[in-house]
């Protein structure tokens, strides 16, 4: 059992990363192998909308841009469970999250029944510092991406500075539980 988590904050010591680590700690307790990917350490270019707006993303379900996107996408395809954690910036997903998810959605646009993501359990998490404003809106946007990509959404969690102490524990439980449910 493999659980892959992508966290999209440039701050690897911040709240977003701590939330990712909590889910993976729970998954490890449930017996899973885990991997944490720091998206901002990878080279993920924005979509170029080749040709008339569709290039090989339409014809082959692959992107022609030579960066880390395709290899990361393959890691997610091979994982049994997917976790995506984003900080909240201006009431929305981080820019790196949007860049990655926009390209991914485009490559999966016409794969419907053949998608390796179809039915794969996913946990989506938004992490808001400061006032905590925008956490729910960002989470709803993340839910939209995950649903479009055909994940089976196991849980969606918004976290703020005020709720982090008890939600860290909850996320450990979620990590362990999603592994148990996947094995059943």
Confidence of residue 134 (pLDDT cuts 50, 70, 90): very high
**CA proximity to 35, closest of 69, 77, 4:** 4
pLDDT, tens only, 108-127 = 877 777 889 999 999 999 99
The residue-averaged pLDDT of 49-74 equals: 83
Question: Is pLDDT of 48 > 90?
Answer: no
Residue 177 has pLDDT above 90, yes or no: yes
User: Which of 37-41, 66-70, 131-135, 136-140 comes out lowest in average pLDDT?
Assistant: 131-135
Residue percentage of the chain with pLDDT more than 70: 99
In three-state secondary structure terms, 21 is helix
pTM for the predicted model, two decimal places = 0.94
Closest CA to 157 of 85, 99, 92: 85
Domains in the chain, start-ordered, CATH in brackets?
2-183 (3.40.50.360)
CA pair distance 115, 117, nearest whole angstrom = 5
From the CA atom positions of the chain, what is the Rg in Å?
16
């Amino acid at each position: 059992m493999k659980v892959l988590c992508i966290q999209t904050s440039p701050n690897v010591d911040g709240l977003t990363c701590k939330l990712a680590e909590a889910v993976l700690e729970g998954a490890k307790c449930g017996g899973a192998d885990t991997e944490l990917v720091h998206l901002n350490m990878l080279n993920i270019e924005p979509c170029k909308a080749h040709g008339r707006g569709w290039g090989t993303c339409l014809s082959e379900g692959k992107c022609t841009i030579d960066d880390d996107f395709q290899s990361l996408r393959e890691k997610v395809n091979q994982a049994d469970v997917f976790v995506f954690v984003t900080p909240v910036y201006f009431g929305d997903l981080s820019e790196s999250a949007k860049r990655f998810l926009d390209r991914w959605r485009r490559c999966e646009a016409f794969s419907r029944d053949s998608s390796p993501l179809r039915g794969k359990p996913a946990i989506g998490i938004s992490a808001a510092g400061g006032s905590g404003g925008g956490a729910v809106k960002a989470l709803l946007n993340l839910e939209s991406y995950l649903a479009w990509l055909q994940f089976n959404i196991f849980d969606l969690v918004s976290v703020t500075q005020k709720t982090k102490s008890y939600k860290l524990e909850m996320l450990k439980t979620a990590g362990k539980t999603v592994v148990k449910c996947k094995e059943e």
